[in-house]
């Protein structure tokens, strides 16, 4: 059977680009497909990445793509992968160019889609005054009046970080609080207020949050908010599910040490395959998935 490339990398974010680098360095042929919907698009600074702390996310991707230029076995298609199906010993993929290509292996690196509260202003403030992660955006709002939108155990997992960051903190459960007795006692002891009122809007100037508005007419002044995810995460594509890749209860593909999914020949990395969401960790897992694919390809080649 004739293959167009050895590997299809679906997604050219930190995970996919790092997988490509590993493949390129071992002279494997790969096509990266990317349709320009990076997770951190709303942000103008990429933090917590050694040597590039504070860089613009688009600039980081540009540099990572530039690194790949010298590896002539790696190609880039700026568009979407529409479908991937098993075909003989490999896979056939249809791209948004309407072309189909055959591959031996597939790497899923298409990231996750953040869910936004259906409240006016939320989308506009996302990544500017409403954040998902204190490592990405925390230092910039240290000692500020912060709010934490969340509930249940996820909230109490994040609480120590945001409590330490804030000059004062209010919890917004945006509905009935689902707290255990000891969790309520902790909030009481540390004098951390919470409100169950429904959020109806935000008052802000430009990208700067001023206050959070509630259905009872109340406004709570805040400089920034952390919004916790609800599970399962939504991935940016369903290609993995269609191939039969198993997921965990957080919504991520179950993978082994080198990114191998439950389906032979299919690997996953980055935000697709772990709840530890950062550029550095996505790049690391992309590198591991790339190495996993290289090892499998070369082991098969040795046996030909
Ligand atoms: C607002 C915000 C700010 C953040 N800031 C930071 C930060 O400062 N530091 C940090 O370490 N982390 C930060 N993160 C987290 C970080 O962005 C992610 O963990 C990281 O980008 C994950 O990399 P990835 O390659 O898995 O996915 P992504 O970066 O999301 O890349 C996936 C790529 O796949 C493409 N794609 C999806 N489906 C298809 C398809 N069918 N065909 C072709 N292409 C497809 C998308 O267009 C996208 O370019 C931030 C996240 C958010 C939401």
Tell me the backbone φ, ψ of residue 127, rounded to 5 degrees.
Answer: 80, -5
Contact 130, 122 (CB under 8 A): yes
75-101 pLDDT per residue, tens = 999 999 999 999 999 999 999 999 999
Q: Which whole number is the average pLDDT over 25-34?
A: 98
Assign a CATH topology to domain 122-227: FAD/NAD(P)-binding domain (3.50.50)
Among residues 170, 168, 126, 172, the alpha carbon closest in space to that of 144 is found at 168
Index of the ligand 1 atom closest to the CA of residue 49:
11
153, pLDDT greater than 90:
yes
Contact 141, 223 (CB under 8 A): yes
CA atoms within 13 A on the CB side of 11: 32
How far does the centroid of ligand 1 lie from the alpha carbon of residue 10, in Å?
12
304, pLDDT greater than 90:
yes
Tokens of 206: 């430009």
210-260 pLDDT per residue, tens = 999 999 999 999 999 999 999 999 999 999 999 999 999 999 999 999 999
Q: Which whole number is the average pLDDT over 251-273?
A: 98
pLDDT at 103: 98
Lining residues, ligand 1, CB within 6 Å: 10-16, 33-40, 42-43, 46-49, 80-81, 109-111, 114, 127, 132, 136, 236-237, 270-272, 277-280, 282
Instruction: Classify domain 5-113+231-303 at the CATH class level.
Output: alpha beta
d(CA 211, CA 216): 14
105, pLDDT greater than 90:
yes
pLDDT at 1: 81
Let me know if the fold of 5-113+231-303 is the same as that of 122-227.
yes
281, pLDDT greater than 90:
yes
167-195 pLDDT per residue, tens = 999 999 999 999 999 999 999 999 999 99
pLDDT at 173: 98
Q: Which whole number is the average pLDDT over 35-64?
A: 98
> What is the domain partition of the chain in residue ranges?
5-113+231-303, 122-227
Residue 7 sits at the vertex; the CA angle it makes with 6 and 12, to the nearest 5 degrees, is 150
> Which of 96, 227, 234, 279 for mutating ligand 1's site (highest number of atoms within 8 Å of CB)?
279
Alpha helices in the chain (DSSP H): 14-25, 57-68, 122-125, 152-165, 181-189, 239-243, 279-303
d(CA 52, CA 276): 19
ipTM: 0.99
Cβ count near 71 (within 10 Å)? 18
d(CA 65, CA 68): 5
């Amino acid at each position: 059977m004739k293959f167009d490339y050895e590997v299809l990398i679906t997604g050219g974010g930190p995970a996919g680009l790092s997988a490509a680098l590993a493949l390129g360095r071992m002279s494997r042929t790969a096509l990266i497909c990317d349709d320009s919907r990076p997770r951190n698009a709303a942000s103008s600074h990429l933090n917590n990445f050694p040597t590039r702390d504070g860089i613009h996310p688009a600039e980081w991707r540009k540099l990572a793509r530039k690194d790949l230029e010298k590896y002539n076995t790696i190609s880039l298609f700026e568009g979407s992968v529409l479908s991937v199906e098993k075909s003989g010993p490999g896979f056939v993929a249809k791209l948004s160019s309407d072309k189909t290509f055959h591959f031996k292996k597939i790497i899923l690196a298409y990231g996750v889609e953040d869910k936004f509260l259906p409240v006016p202003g939320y989308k506009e403030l996302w990544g500017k005054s409403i954040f998902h992660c204190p490592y990405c955006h925390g230092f910039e709002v240290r000692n500020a009046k912060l709010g934490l939108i969340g509930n249940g155990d996820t909230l109490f997992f994040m609480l120590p970080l945001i409590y330490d960051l804030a000059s004062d903190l209010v919890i917004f459960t945006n509905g009935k609080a689902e707290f255990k007795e000891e969790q309520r006692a902790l909030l009481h002891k540390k004098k951390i207020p919470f409100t169950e009122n429904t959020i109806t809007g935000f008052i802000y100037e430009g990208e700067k949050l001023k206050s959070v508005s509630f259905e009872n007419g109340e406004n709570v002044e805040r400089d920034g908010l952390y919004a916790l995810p609800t599970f399962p995460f939504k991935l940016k594509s369903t290609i993995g599910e269609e191939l039969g890749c198993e997921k965990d209860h957080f919504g991520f593909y179950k993978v082994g040490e080198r990114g191998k999914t439950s389906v032979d020949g299919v690997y996953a990395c980055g935000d697709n395959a772990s709840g530890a969401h950062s550029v550095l960790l996505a790049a690391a897992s992309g590198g591991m998935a790339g190495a996993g694919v290289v090892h499998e390809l070369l082991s098969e080649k040795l046996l030909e």
